[in-house]
Amino acid sequence: MTKTALLFAGQGAQCVGMGKDLAERFDRARMLFDRADADLGCPLSRLCFEGPEAELTKSEFAQPAIFLVSWIAFRLLRETVPGFEFQAVAGLSLGEFTALTAAGALAFEDGLRIVRERGRFMQEACDATRGGMAAVLGLDEASTRAVCAEAGVQLANLNCPGQLVISGEADAVARACDLAKARGARRAVRLPVAGAFHSRLMAGAQSKLAAVLAAAAVSPPTVPVIANVTAQPHGDPDAIRSRLIEQVTGSVLWEKTIRHLLDAGFTRFVELGPGTALSGFLRRIDTQAQVLNIADVPSLETTVKALTS
């Protein structure tokens, strides 16, 4: 039997127009957009469909928007491929919440509300600090860690071989980029993000998120959900809450997450949500795995055909 893992998009995948063709084609998608608008008390569907981009990029909107489009992709997959089964899930940063929802650990309404609050808390932390992030390309982990130590920044995302992300105070990130290039990085590029995600500058968001998670109903997942900060399956509900709080300032061990799944015998991966960043990372990690995605109507049709042929 082919073992299938679902992968859920993280912040940065947002784009104006996301989910629009799904809502136009499928009643289920339109209903979920309407439900999210009502539950959150804001025109999230309009931001997804029309922007403006500057507003959609704000964490308080980007996070629930990506969560919602990813959840819609998941629901449409389940409904258009009768009997479809998956054996594990994972999500990049924000996507970990969608993964937990797909695994039954969170109800949809709770997941949507939590990520809206998480995005707001992180936006507040961004506004209170002067942080930034950069992608370091073509430098190994050991050399990048040495650069981080010298510049006083943190290693935020270990995405795939040759693609790491650093995070910290804006001036320190700029200094780290220069150091990385001097040590042989092919490129070190500042990212267009609101602040220093997955760094100590986000600490102000942790206690607020902890209070929200403490009040939320969390159930044991029905399939393994791989945690960002450990690259191992989540434990009981209290452990899930703890790992999600750690994740705010901790490193996202994405390459190790994928390697854990590969070592467990997974050979098919379906990325759900806007963009194809996770598919790109996966192909850099393992060229033999089957990689599918659902972001819009054409990719849904392609994936359904691949799964049913």
Q: Which residues are marked as active site? A: 93, 198
246/106 Cα distance (integer angstroms): 18
Cα gap 115→58, rounded to integer Å: 13
Angle at CA of residue 199, ends 98 and 70, nearest 5°: 15
DSSP conformational letter for 216: S
User: Residue ranges of the alpha helices (H) in the chain?
Assistant: 20-25, 27-40, 44-50, 53-57, 59-80, 95-102, 108-128, 141-151, 170-182, 203-215, 237-247, 254-263, 277-285, 297-308
Measured in whole angstroms, the distance separating CA 173 from the mean position of its chain's CA atoms is: 22
